[in-house]
Amino acid sequence: MEIYRYRFFFFSGKGGAGKTTFSTLLALKLSEKFKTLVVSLDPAHSLSYILGKKIGEKPTKVTENLYALEVDIEGEMKNYLRKVKEEAKKVVSPLLLSEIEEQIELAYYSPGAFELAMIDVLFKVKESLSKEFKKVVFDTAPSGYTLRLVALPELLINWLDRLLSMRREALRYQRLSQLKEKKSLEEILSEDPVYRALTRRKKQYSSLRELLTGKDTLFGVVFNPQVLPIEVGKKTVEELESLGIPVKLLIANRFSDPSPLNSLFPDKAVIQVPPQEEEPVGIEKLKCLLHVIP
């Protein structure tokens, strides 16, 4: 497994399987050669715990080449809603605004809001930090969330396409009905705030899909020796691949005997991490595990 040829890393698997531990370990390994950032999107903020150091909302230096960042996803959700409200203010009549604001408040508690906030965060990190850092490891939340997050962009892109063509048609008719038309349709579209907002969103989601499914991304699944997590992990691999995300690496975490993963998935790379007597917490203990990554 040539880990260095990838730029972005994601790990899925059951809560407690060892995602944060392995993400951190991998980031430490990558940082031997490249400036690396490990980002936590987990509301439990376990990165600070695994690194044994308080990690902030700006990249925090951990070692010479390793930085860590914990994103306050709740705060991001509030930011996201504020932005949606501001966008709505530009395009909606004042009469409708209070009604819409109420709907947006409700949306905060709706299913999918968390995932949307995550998309915004992923996008922001990718846009603003991937220039500074050669490698970015994303420590994602448990598999259910992760899968929904991955499925969302595809749905949203199709939905945005439909909205865009509806808006285009509406503006085309409006233009036809004008007696002394001067502007071309393309000109009208480029000035229309609704059309522009939709186009911007579409670009964001396309870029996110590229991030999640592109060839620079390594998607891995973390397994545990117990029977249930292996079943859950197998399902996770199948679901990810049915969404168009090839799973390139499996982590056999806490396996003391040879794991069954090589025979279950003969065409995938497997990295085995033996169970540690003491929790592998803090840089010094993590360093003792670096040899498991080839």
Ligand X SMILES: Nc1ncnc2c1ncn2[C@@H]1O[C@H](COP(=O)(O)OP(=O)(O)O)[C@@H](O)[C@H]1O
Site for ligand X in 194-253 (CB under 6 A): 253
Q: Does 17 bind ligand X (CB under 6 A)?
A: yes
Asked whether position 38 contacts ligand X by CB under 6 A, the answer is no
Burial of 123 (0-12, 13-18, 19+ CB in 10 A): middle
Could you tell me the two tokens for 130? 């991937």
220 binds, among Mg ion, ligand X, none (CB under 5 to 8 A by kind): none
Report yes or no: 150 and 245 within 8 Å, Cβ to Cβ.
yes
Q: Which helix (H) or strand (E) holds 160?
A: helix 143-177
Applying CB under 5 A, does 24 fall inside the site for Mg ion?
A: no
Give the C-alpha separation, 195 to 200, whole Å: 9
* Burial of 43: CB neighbours in 10 Å, binned 0-12, 13-18, 19+: middle
Kindly report the CA angle at 121 between 239 and 141, in degrees rounded to 5? 40
Residue 20 engages Mg ion in binding (rule: CB under 5 A):
yes
Considering only residues 49 through 108, tell me which ones interact with ligand X, judged by CB under 6 A.
50
Min. distance of Cβ 247 from ligand X in angstroms? Answer: 16
Q: Which stretch binds Mg ion (CB under 5 A): 17-25, 54-62, 207-215, 250-258?
A: 17-25
17 binds, among ligand X, Mg ion, none (CB under 5 to 8 A by kind): ligand X
> For binding to ligand X (CB under 6 A), which residues are involved?
13, 15-21, 46, 50, 253-254, 273, 275-276, 279-281
> For binding to Mg ion (CB under 5 A), which residues are involved?
19-20, 42, 46
